[in-house]
Chain A
Amino acid sequence: MATEIPDPHELHTALQTAALRCSERCLYHSAKWAAEMLNSLPPLTLPKEQLLQAYLHPASSSASEAQLELQELSTFLLARSYFDLHEYDRCSFVLERCRSAKAHFLRLYSRYIAGEKRKDEDSEMVLGPLDGAVTGNRELQGILVELEGIFHDRGLADLTEDDSWLLFLYGVVLAKQKNEAQAREILIKSVGLYPYNWAAWQELGATLSTLADLNLILHKLPNNIMTNLFVLSTNQELYQTTDPIHQQLTDLLHLFPRSSWLQTQRALLHYHARDFEEAETIFDALTKSDPHRLDALDHYSNILYVMERRPKLAYIAQLASSTDKFRPETCCVIGNYYSLASEHEKAVMYFRRALTLDRSFLSAWTLMGHEYVEMKNTHAAIEAYRRAVDVNRKDYRAWYGLGLSYEVLEMHYYALFYFQRAAALRPYDPSMWQAMGNCYDRMDRPSDAIKAYKRALISVSPPRSTPISQSNIPTSLTTAPTAARGFDPAIMVAIGQMYEKMRQPKEAAKWMEACLLEEETNGVTPVSGRARMWLARWEFVNENWKRAAELANELCQDGMEVEEAKALVRDLRARLEGERG
């Protein structure tokens, strides 16, 4: 991954050109990203004697192409102004006869956008009958045919920087048609030819669903600073929160010291590692430095939601709302606030609004699923989660939500599949494993359940650096722990119960004992009470009266399961007296 640090002047020029080129081709978000990165660089002293290349118009590097662009400049300007006014069909029509690569790209891109716009219009209501896969982008096929024609004629070998844009579009269209492997190849090609198109990187990232995928393509990527940024953001999206990644981020921050994007990445890494305090601090600083920034505020609101900081969440919602009421991020923040205030109908309303504004807004789909679960509308929840997963397969919360919803519907086998997907994305999150164990239990597969539960126990404190595969259960847990280690007693009780089911009561007793040991850290809880009750009965069956009486009396003192314990005490007393008698 080690790329050499680029020359600051060159980086400056490259980013400036990138911003200009992207905005010239109406890739607004890429242009914004490039410009933000550019401005986060430390300021440079500019040479006085000559104007920078980027300051003049960034023409193509090849002379013939530049000549073509010059000839078609007026048409291109017309087309661009149409595009800016959302008259996409007109834009592509005007460019019909142009031959330069730039014009070509804009023509096809505006066709693509026109198709997307029509698709959104035809989808009608969010979660309505026409929403979703039923309504597609009808322009895709035409664009694809045309692009295939171009690249078939010229071959993929001798392409120039100018063709990278068309390749990017090719990749996008392929990805839309679920032709992911090919899309990935094409996009790699595109970023290889021109690495400063952030949109291409993002599309590439969307085609990767596991860390293994990323590792596979790493060697094909260009040797450029952009690759580092890409790898970082992809790792973040794949929930990799290991130290090397933090280190990489720190290095990049040296290069782009004021980059709010990088700061956001850092905050998200902390968030994934459940280090909410740290993430909150970073986001706080971000809002302070740029109060009008809405990007990634939805994540910030998720953090505050988990921390249950209602006043602060309301404050962020106010901030966002006074910037722009009609941004999906704002709607998500407000939706989160209402969700925390237990006004689920309103929350759903705001998430729907977010989705009406942008159907591919991932967080809104997932969060809406959560709200539907709260409102006991399981079917709607499943649909919402499903859409979230369709948008982005890397969202473990959506997978987990799907699993939970199916569990509510008593469809455990199905639920299991989704929990597995979630656990694959978040191998160190105990709740996934616990849910999986629960499913196995319901399906009468206690041995699998035990494995899952044990996995849940150890993932509470994951080893940070060494990656472990899923099937690997650490040897330390083949038997019950003999000292308090800060494990979750509920899981231990569950394991005990599984052993009991497998008719291994001794093993079960060990786990129950282990659970009692945890009282050191957690204190007496209903769960430990249950374990104690179980043990008391166990001792009772084993005719170990004295210990049984001890445990039952403790139960009576703690006030847990009192009635049952009292009954047991009476029984024990009778037996003890009977023995004496």
Chain B
Amino acid sequence: MSRYLTPSRIVLLALVELYAESRFPNASVLPVVSFVIKHLVHPKDSSSFVLSLEEIQAATSNQPSAVVGRTIYDLLLKRLWDINSFDALHTFFTNLQNYVADPEERGKTRDRKPEDSAVLHRTSILGCFIRRASLEFTRLLFHDAMALWNSFARFREPTLNKYRQRNIGAGSTSFDINLKGLSLNDPRVQKIYFNTQDSTAYMVSTNDVERLLEFQVDIMQRMGTRVPDEVQDRLRKMMDTKVPIPSLFHYVEFLNAWRAGDYPGSFDNLHRYFDYTMQNRDRTFYQYALLNLSILQADFGCYPESVLAMRETIKVARDHKDMACLNFALSWLYHFHKAHPRECPEVISSRMEWDSLQFLKAKAKEGGMHHLQSMAHLSEAKQILLSGESIPAAFECLLRSSHLNVSKYIRNAMGSQILLQCSLWSRLGISYLARLNCQVFLTKYRADSPMEDVVKAMCRDAYIMSMRGRAHQALDYLDNLDQDALRSLKIHQYWAAYVGLIKLRRAVLMDEFSAAELLLQQLSSLPHIEPDCHLELSLTRLDLLVRTGNFPQALALSAQIHDDLVRDNADVYHRVRVMVLRAQIFGACGRPLKGLSISINAASIAWKARLMPAVFSAFHAVAGILVTLEEYQAAYRMLDCIMPQVLECEDVYLAAQCFAVLADIEVGLAGKRMGVSRDKCLHNALDFLDRAFSHFARIQDLQSQKQMISRKTRIQDYLGDKSVRDDTVKMYRQLQRGVLQL
């Protein structure tokens, strides 16, 4: 019912009046005025929406006033109970104007004594508040003003007892001077004050609801989360008071449904919202409606629809000269093109090349849209990385973005920047720094960043942990994630993908093939999965096929994955990794020569892009092939020189594999030598096997562990060290039974 004025606002006005009359001692000014201002300005937390009498009492009853022996609360009560009729309320609002300085009458202020009222400036927060309030009161029709008065009387009623302590004469009808001598049961009193059916009318204003909704939309858009239950409750309570529902409510509903993955619901609410706001304040919101629609469609996988909507958005935004919208749309389309190259029509793909990014950067800089500019730099860095170009250039872009984020205080772009940096480090094979970046982000920027970024960082963190062979810990870490964040469908899917991936790898390594199959099935049915995740999934699938000895299918699958990647112009890192694995499969199925060219090719590509882990695994593959070609010396030289860096990568599996190959090399070398040097080589081999075993043990790779032990027994057998060999055999047995404790 009410647009702006509520009983609690009247109380705030009375407080402002007292302040303007210098009734506050200096010490109380700050707490009380900040209490008032907290309820006027843009809300910072969810506590400042509907003001209750208790909050006011709590804020004022401990503050002494300029009158000795009275607190500010006492003065406030006196002031409130002085409004003793509808007419007094009217007068109250009329007199408010006196507290606002009139610029035209600055010269005429002689008659106003400076000591009895501190006049508020017109443009100060309090001045604006007073002006807005008087304007709103003037706007009210009589019956609206009456309803306001009634609800004010109701609001004030609980303070009657306190007021009576100082004013003995006050009775139950003293809220209206006209009712003197009447009882509460008088038909006239009943008629005026108890006639209204709904006692909550005017307790909440549209303005309050709007503030709450804006706050909520802000949080949802910034954090990408859903409406918390508590806020939803409060909203429902506010809506019950029959305030006209602002159209923004539908937007909140839309965001909520979207995050919950409710496609029809979000679609419906988005349309409803824009039906009410299409033409608002002389502006057309058509382009924004289209923009939202397009993003929504894309999120639910309707890519062709989404592209069509986005093209329309760009057209409309261009017509309306809405640069902000246009740039955002272009940047979105660019990302879309990167993410779904197959769904993008030719017309757009051809335009979305390198220069479009340059264009975006220039436009963003021109329009002063720092966020967009920072994002464009990041995109540039990403593109450089994807196409495997110069690493310093990528760092330069990252630094530009970081500079913008820091100097323009764009806190919510921090997440993307740090995450990109993190993946850059891990591509360079410095996983320690990568992990450090994740942790810096999580400890320092968590509060202001979108939930999506936070979850991504955590997943990345957990994945690095699992690479180091601490899968259990990583899963625990992911399980402890804030459940509220996971209420958003997209985030939940991302999280689930990573949890599943880590579990899958563990299952594959532990020889639990049926469990792995099941997990694979579940994971591949997830609708939206990140490219990174997707690749890991494919690689694990290949690994599984290799381990179960299904080489033909493994080869076919690897070929298909590789072709897909080439077609999509995908990340060079992904391609290299598939190539290396393919080479390894060739090696494993006994066609090493075929693998050699592939792995050398992979190594050269990876080296160009400085993808160190990929380089190392390619070397490992080459070395393995060289072993089968009996080129032990060459293989040894290759691996020996990269071993320190492999260990630095902290990829346990890679290191284990390298050690295993080294052991093979030593055995091969031993075959070419005689006497002491042969024994020495064999001991070296044993040493390497031990190391490989311990590494495999860390990631619980059962099959490889067994292989290592069986090789060990053979060497020991050859060396004739029976007792040690028996011990090793015993170990093998234990391992087979699954009771080996290291």
Query: Quick check: is B476 within 8 A (CB to CB) of the other chain?
Result: no
Cα distance, A447 to B178, chains bound together (Å): 51
Cβ–Cβ < 8 Å partners of B187 in chain A: 291
Query: What is the CB-to-nearest-CB distance from A315 to chain B, in angstroms, rounded to a whole number?
Result: 4
Q: Are B88 and A311 in contact (CB under 8 A)?
A: yes
Query: What is the CB-to-nearest-CB distance from B610 to chain A, in angstroms, rounded to a whole number?
Result: 77
Query: Quick check: is B195 within 8 A (CB to CB) of the other chain?
Result: yes
Query: What is the CB-to-nearest-CB distance from A324 to chain B, in angstroms, rounded to a whole number?
Result: 11
Cβ–Cβ < 8 Å partners of A310 in chain B: 87
Query: Which residue of the partner chain A has the closest CB to B178?
Result: A315
- The residue that A321 contacts in the complex, of B87, B88, B94, B143, with Cβ under 8 A, is B143
Known: A288-B188, A319-B188. A314 touches B86 (CB 8 A): yes
Q: Are A291 and B191 in contact (CB under 8 A)?
A: yes
Cβ–Cβ < 8 Å partners of B149 in chain A: 318
Cα distance, A313 to B90, chains bound together (Å): 12
Q: Are B88 and A318 in contact (CB under 8 A)?
A: no
Cβ–Cβ < 8 Å partners of A334 in chain B: 142
Q: Are B143 and A325 in contact (CB under 8 A)?
A: yes
- The residue that A314 contacts in the complex, of B90, B138, B143, B188, with Cβ under 8 A, is B90
Cβ–Cβ < 8 Å partners of A325 in chain B: 143
Cβ–Cβ < 8 Å partners of A287 in chain B: 188
Query: Which residue of the partner chain A has the closest CB to B88?
Result: A311
Query: What is the CB-to-nearest-CB distance from A538 to chain B, in angstroms, rounded to a whole number?
Result: 39
Query: Quick check: is B447 within 8 A (CB to CB) of the other chain?
Result: no
Query: What is the CB-to-nearest-CB distance from A111 to chain B, in angstroms, rounded to a whole number?
Result: 37
Query: Quick check: is B312 within 8 A (CB to CB) of the other chain?
Result: no
Query: What is the CB-to-nearest-CB distance from A331 to chain B, in angstroms, rounded to a whole number?
Result: 9
- The residue that B178 contacts in the complex, of A311, A323, A341, with Cβ under 8 A, is A311
Cβ–Cβ < 8 Å partners of A311 in chain B: 85-88, 177-178
Query: Quick check: is B146 within 8 A (CB to CB) of the other chain?
Result: yes
Q: What does the 1/0 interface line of B90-105 toward A look like (CB < 8 Å)? A: 1000100000000000
Query: Quick check: is B192 within 8 A (CB to CB) of the other chain?
Result: yes
Query: Quick check: is B176 within 8 A (CB to CB) of the other chain?
Result: yes
Query: Quick check: is A372 within 8 A (CB to CB) of the other chain?
Result: no
Cβ–Cβ < 8 Å partners of A338 in chain B: 142
Q: Are B87 and A313 in contact (CB under 8 A)?
A: yes
Query: Quick check: is A466 within 8 A (CB to CB) of the other chain?
Result: no
Q: What does the 1/0 interface line of B127-148 toward A look like (CB < 8 Å)? A: 0000000000010001100100
Q: Are B142 and A317 in contact (CB under 8 A)?
A: yes
Query: Quick check: is A292 within 8 A (CB to CB) of the other chain?
Result: yes
Q: Are B142 and A291 in contact (CB under 8 A)?
A: no
Q: Are B176 and A315 in contact (CB under 8 A)?
A: yes
Cβ–Cβ < 8 Å partners of B191 in chain A: 291-292, 319, 322-323
8 A Cβ contacts from B149-194 to A: 149, 176-178, 187-188, 191-192
Query: Which residue of the partner chain B has the closest CB to A312?
Result: B178
- The residue that B192 contacts in the complex, of A322, A341, A346, A350, with Cβ under 8 A, is A322
Cβ–Cβ < 8 Å partners of A318 in chain B: 86, 146, 149, 192
Dominant SS among interface residues on chain A: helix
Cα distance, A350 to B90, chains bound together (Å): 17
Known: A291-B187, A313-B87. A321 touches B142 (CB 8 A): yes
Query: Which residue of the partner chain A has the closest CB to B176?
Result: A315
8 A Cβ contacts from A295-342 to B: 310-315, 317-319, 321-323, 325, 334, 337-338, 341
- The residue that A319 contacts in the complex, of B88, B177, B192, with Cβ under 8 A, is B192
Query: Which residue of the partner chain B has the closest CB to A289?
Result: B187
Query: Which residue of the partner chain B has the closest CB to A349?
Result: B141
Cβ–Cβ < 8 Å partners of B87 in chain A: 310-311, 313-315, 337, 341
Query: What is the CB-to-nearest-CB distance from A41 to chain B, in angstroms, rounded to a whole number?
Result: 23
Cα distance, A287 to B178, chains bound together (Å): 13
Q: What does the 1/0 interface line of B64-96 toward A look like (CB < 8 Å)? A: 000000000000000000000111101000100
Query: Which residue of the partner chain B has the closest CB to A288?
Result: B188
- The residue that A291 contacts in the complex, of B90, B138, B176, B188, with Cβ under 8 A, is B188
Query: What is the CB-to-nearest-CB distance from A375 to chain B, in angstroms, rounded to a whole number?
Result: 16
Cα distance, A314 to B88, chains bound together (Å): 9
Cα distance, A213 to B192, chains bound together (Å): 45
Query: What is the CB-to-nearest-CB distance from A325 to chain B, in angstroms, rounded to a whole number?
Result: 5
Cβ–Cβ < 8 Å partners of B88 in chain A: 311
Query: Which residue of the partner chain A has the closest CB to B86?
Result: A314
Question: Which among A310, A311, A317, A325 has the greatest number of chain B C-beta atoms within 10 A?
Answer: A311
Cβ–Cβ < 8 Å partners of B142 in chain A: 317, 321, 334, 337-338, 350
Query: Which residue of the partner chain A has the closest CB to B150?
Result: A318
Query: What is the CB-to-nearest-CB distance from A319 to chain B, in angstroms, rounded to a whole number?
Result: 6
Question: Which among B87, B94, B138 has the greatest number of chain A C-beta atoms within 10 A?
Answer: B87
Cα distance, A318 to B143, chains bound together (Å): 8
Cα distance, A312 to B88, chains bound together (Å): 11
Query: What is the CB-to-nearest-CB distance from B184 to chain A, in angstroms, rounded to a whole number?
Result: 14
Question: Which among A288, A291, A313, A338 has the greatest number of chain B C-beta atoms within 10 A?
Answer: A291
Question: Which among A318, A325, A338 has the greatest number of chain B C-beta atoms within 10 A?
Answer: A318
8 A Cβ contacts from A489-513 to B: none
Query: Which residue of the partner chain B has the closest CB to A323?
Result: B191
Question: Which among B142, B177, B195 has the greatest number of chain A C-beta atoms within 10 A?
Answer: B142
Q: What does the 1/0 interface line of A141-153 toward B look like (CB < 8 Å)? A: 0000000000000
Cα distance, A549 to B90, chains bound together (Å): 52
Query: What is the CB-to-nearest-CB distance from A254 to chain B, in angstroms, rounded to a whole number?
Result: 28
Cβ–Cβ < 8 Å partners of A288 in chain B: 188
Cα distance, A322 to B150, chains bound together (Å): 11
Cβ–Cβ < 8 Å partners of B176 in chain A: 315
- The residue that B85 contacts in the complex, of A315, A321, A341, with Cβ under 8 A, is A315
Query: Which residue of the partner chain A has the closest CB to B187?
Result: A291
Cβ–Cβ < 8 Å partners of A292 in chain B: 191
Query: What is the CB-to-nearest-CB distance from B359 to chain A, in angstroms, rounded to a whole number?
Result: 55
Query: Which residue of the partner chain B has the closest CB to A334?
Result: B142
Cα distance, A312 to B180, chains bound together (Å): 11
Cα distance, A535 to B604, chains bound together (Å): 123
8 A Cβ contacts from B184-212 to A: 187-188, 191-192, 195
Cβ–Cβ < 8 Å partners of A341 in chain B: 87, 90, 94
Cα distance, A502 to B143, chains bound together (Å): 58
Cα distance, A28 to B88, chains bound together (Å): 40
Cα distance, A301 to B187, chains bound together (Å): 20
Q: What does the 1/0 interface line of A552-580 toward B look like (CB < 8 Å)? A: 00000000000000000000000000000
Cα distance, A318 to B195, chains bound together (Å): 12
Cα distance, A173 to B447, chains bound together (Å): 81
Cα distance, A341 to B140, chains bound together (Å): 14
Cβ–Cβ < 8 Å partners of B178 in chain A: 311-312, 314-315
Cα distance, A445 to B6, chains bound together (Å): 61
Cβ–Cβ < 8 Å partners of B177 in chain A: 311
Known: A292-B191, A311-B178. A322 touches B90 (CB 8 A): no
Query: Which residue of the partner chain A has the closest CB to B89?
Result: A314
Known: A321-B143, A325-B143. A314 touches B195 (CB 8 A): no
Cα distance, A131 to B428, chains bound together (Å): 87
Cα distance, A292 to B191, chains bound together (Å): 9
A313-B87, A314-B86 known; 19 other A-B pairs, CB under 8 Å? A287-B188, A291-B188, A291-B191, A292-B191, A311-B85, A311-B86, A311-B177, A311-B178, A314-B85, A315-B86, A317-B142, A319-B188, A322-B191, A325-B143, A334-B142, A337-B142, A341-B90, A341-B94, A343-B138
Which 5 pairs from chain A and chain B are nearest by CB? A315-B178, A314-B87, A311-B87, A314-B86, A311-B85
- A selection of 9 A-B contacts at a CB cut-off of 8 Å is A292-B191, A310-B87, A311-B88, A317-B146, A318-B86, A318-B146, A318-B192, A321-B146, A346-B138
